Amino acid sequence: MTLDAQNIRGLLIDVDGVLHVDGEAIPGAGEALASFRAAGVSVRLLTNGTMRTRADLSSRLAAMDIAVPAEEILTAVTATAEYLRSRHPDEPVHLLVSGRIQDEFNGIALTDDEATARVVVVGGASDSFSFAALNRAYRMLRNGAQLVAMHKSVHWLTSAGMTLDSGPFIHGLEWATGTEAVIVGKPSPHFFQAGFDALGLPAEQVAMIGDDPSQDVAAAMALGATGVLVATGLGALEPPVATAPDIALSSIAELPRWLNL
C-alpha cells in the first residue's frame, strides 16, 4: 500500500473525539469537512455512537457548525438494526440501551419479556444499566437469547473525564452466561465494509480517521484502508497498539493540508 494522498478518494470519519468531545467541536472540524466537500472527496461518518438516531446526530453536529446530512452517517445503532433485520427477522428483541434510538428499530419486534426475548442488544452504558436491567438481560441470555453488542468499548472521553462504557458490562454478561457477544460496530469488518460500500470505493482508496488506535485505525488498516490517527479525544490518552497508524495528525483540521486540498 502506498501512502500517496492522491490515492485517497473517500474518507470514513469517526465522530466522538474526532469532530467533537462531548458537544464541544474540535477547532477546524467544520471547516475541514467543508473543504472535503468542495474538493469532491466523499465522506461518511462511521461512529460507534449508541445514544442517537442519525437525524439527531446530524442536528447535534449542525449546532456545532459541522454540516453532515443524516444520510451520510453510519452508526452502530443503524448497523445493529440492519443486522437484526437480516439475521434475526421476526424474533423478539430486548434493548439494553441508553438514549432515544427506538426510531432506528422500525419493523423490529421489541420486548421486555424475559421468557420470549430471542436477542439481547446492548448499547451504550448509563444509569439505565441498573442491577434490575442487567439481571433481566442475564435471565434472557440464560433462556437462550443471543447477545448482540453495538460495540465493546471499555471507556470513552467526556468533559468529566474518562468514562466507563458498555464493554465491561458485556464482558460480565458473557462471563456469567458462558456466551460470546456478536459485535456489530467497530472493529467489526462488516461495519467498515458498509462504510466502503456507502462511499462506493474499495478500501485502498479510503482513509479512516479516528481517535482510537485500535478500534478505528488498526481495524481499518487490516482491511486495506489508510489509517489516520488524530491526537484529539482518546488519541492522546490511549497507549500505542502493535499496528502503528499510517499517518498521525494533531487533529482533523490538519487533514485537508495532508490531502493537498
Residue range at the interface with Mg ion (CB under 5 A); choices 15-23, 136-144, 177-185, 221-229:
15-23
Instruction: Decide if residue 16 touches Mg ion (CB under 5 A).
Output: yes
Distance CA 250, CA 185 (A): 25
Q: Is 167 within 8 Å of 152 (Cβ atoms)?
A: yes
The answer for residues whose C-beta is within 8 angstroms of residue 26's C-beta and 6 or more apart is 18, 19, 20, 232, 233, 251, 252, 253
Instruction: Decide if residue 165 touches Mg ion (CB under 5 A).
Output: no
Q: How many CB atoms lie within 10 A of CB 63?
A: 10
Distance CA 122, CA 98 (A): 9
Q: What's the min distance (Å) between Cβ of 15 and Mg ion?
A: 7
Cis peptide before 187 (omega within 30 of 0): yes
Distance CA 230, CA 209 (A): 7
Q: What's the min distance (Å) between Cβ of 17 and Mg ion?
A: 4
Cell numbers for 51: 445514544
Residue range at the interface with Mg ion (CB under 5 A); choices 17-25, 67-75, 112-120, 166-174:
17-25
Q: What's the min distance (Å) between Cβ of 233 and Mg ion?
A: 5
Q: What's the min distance (Å) between Cβ of 18 and Mg ion?
A: 6
Q: Which of residues 86-105 bind Mg ion (CB under 5 A)?
A: none
Q: What's the min distance (Å) between Cβ of 211 and Mg ion?
A: 4
Cell numbers for 145: 437469547
Give 110's Cβ-side CA count (13 Å radius): 12
**Measured at CB, which residue is nearest to Mg ion?**
17
Residue range at the interface with Mg ion (CB under 5 A); choices 9-17, 51-59, 109-117, 250-258:
9-17
Mask for 68-87, x = binds Mg ion (CB under 5 A): --------------------
Q: Of the candidates 8, 13, 17, 21, which one interacts with Mg ion according to CB under 5 A?
A: 17
Helix residue ranges, H only, the chain: 29-38, 54-62, 76-87, 131-142, 167-177, 189-199, 219-221, 255-258
Mask for 183-222, x = binds Mg ion (CB under 5 A): ----------------------------x-----------
Q: Of the candidates 10, 14, 166, 227, which one interacts with Mg ion according to CB under 5 A?
A: 14
**Interface with Mg ion by CB under 5 A: which residues?**
14, 16-17, 211
